[in-house]
Structure 1
Amino acid sequence: MSTLYQSPRILIREFLSHEQQTFLELFQDSQVTEYLPDVSPERYVEMFTELLENYENKRLSRWAIFDTINNNFIGICVARIFVHNTNQIEIGYVLSREYWGKGIATEVCKAITQYSFANTNTKEVVAITDLYNTGSQNVLQKAGFERLNNLIRNEEEVAYFKIERL
């Protein structure tokens, strides 16, 4: 199991193969998925299989976030090639509700951004949010991202953020 980041509060690491149910349960809360694209339960199962393959192939992927105090599952984060510009890495995160508003999302964004810069040649890390997801937009700005003009993704307008390698 590979650890990407650890602080006194959180641990970001690879999922273990037996943690599929933990991964799937995160997406069963309608408030957690409110601003996410609609995805079928079958697709979430595929995503879990893909993330395990990505670990084996040393690719960018999705990772688990755990609470270091009680080992509770917090959520997931992702770093992947951005479909709109393959020179950019796109990051994202999904946290369970009980961890909202505690600064964890900002810490995760900073950690996954640093990981992306350290492990790829990209000069820019980007993130997108639903236009109405002001919580995530605030998180990205706290993490040092700049808001740019909105993008169209899958025929939907989304807020677009970028941070450049120093």
Structure 2
Amino acid sequence: MINRLPVLETERLILREVVESDAKDLLSYLSKEEVVKHMGLTPFKTIDDALEEIGWYHSILENKSGMRWGITLKEEGKVIGSCGFLNRSHKHYRAEIGFELSNNHWGKGLAGEALVQVVQYGFEQLEFERIEALIEPANLASQKLVEKHGFIREGLLRNYEFTAGKFDDLYMYSMIKADFLNLHRKVEEG
């Protein structure tokens, strides 16, 4: 398969297209309740569940509604999570960002490292004006992560999604291009 996503690199990570041979890696962490409980998914049970997820990654890329990178550690190459855009609106220069990480790698700053790289790509290469993050109120770790990296909570969307047999409230977070540029200016000034 041709790599249709650019490879992104951080200090510790390579973000790359997820391919069918990565299905076993996805199954290993997406089969864990603690990983998927805030994603609107039920834990994966079979390799077919993982292949279906990879198929979704490819379909959003094909129809230009999103793009999802596999998160890999530089020294391993094994997919330990994913990060990317979905529900892209070309007309309005915006998209949602989503991410997940194997619980074996929580608390190491890896999700934040991937998030920062993907957000930068969105503003600089895709020319987004706005990136949104929709997060369940119970998902405190993801809320803290996006807030730490400059996203602002705008409000609560009540019964916004119907997933896994229930309606979910979601907090709407956003970062606009001016926020991103201000963050980068502060980093450069030290």
| TM-score range normalised by the length of the shorter chain | 0.7 to 0.9
- Within 5 Å, give how 1:24-39 maps onto structure 2: 24-39=27-42
Change (3 A) 1:55 1:126: closer
Q: CA offsets, 1:34-81, max 9 Å, x none?
A: 212134756653331132345566662222100113334321112112
Question: Where does structure 1 lack aligned partners over 5 or more consecutive residues?
Answer: none
Q: Is the deviation greater in 14-23 or in 41-50?
A: 41-50
1:10 counterpart residue number: 13
1:150 alignment partner in structure 2: 156
CA RMSD of aligned residues (A): 2.6
Secondary structure of 2:35's counterpart equals coil
Which runs of no fewer than 5 residues in structure 2 stay unpaired?
Answer: 162-166, 179-190
Higher helix proportion: 2
Matches within 5 A, 1:98-113: 98-113=104-119
For residues 16-38 of structure 1, what are the alpha-carbon distances to aligned partners after superposition, in whole Å with 9 as ceiling and x for unaligned? Answer: 23222322332101111121213
Structure number, greater radius of gyration? 2
Displacement of 1:140 in angstroms is 0.1
Q: What's the counterpart of residue 83 of structure 2? A: 77
Question: Is the counterpart of residue 51 in structure 1 residue 57 in structure 2?
Answer: yes
Q: 1:28 to 1:86 in 2, by over 3 A?
A: farther
Q: Deviations over 1:76-104 (max 9, x none)?
A: 11211258x96521001110012111111
Equivalent pairs counted in the alignment come to 165
Q: Alignment partner for residue 94 of structure 2, among 73, 88, 95? A: 88
- Equivalent pairs: percent with the same residue? 23
TM-score computed with the length of structure 1 as normaliser: 0.84
Among 101, 122, 125, which residue is 2:128 paired with?
A: 122
The whole-number CA distance in structure 2 between the counterparts of 1:128 and 1:72 is 27
Runs of 4+ in 1 over 6 A off after TM superposition: none
Contact 2:152 2:174 in 1 (8 A): yes
SS in 2 for 1:32: helix
Counterpart of 1:9 in structure 2: which amino acid?
R
Does the aligned pair in 2 maintain the 1:17–1:52 contact within 8 Å? Answer: no
**Aligned partners of 1:3 and 1:11 also within 8 Å:** no
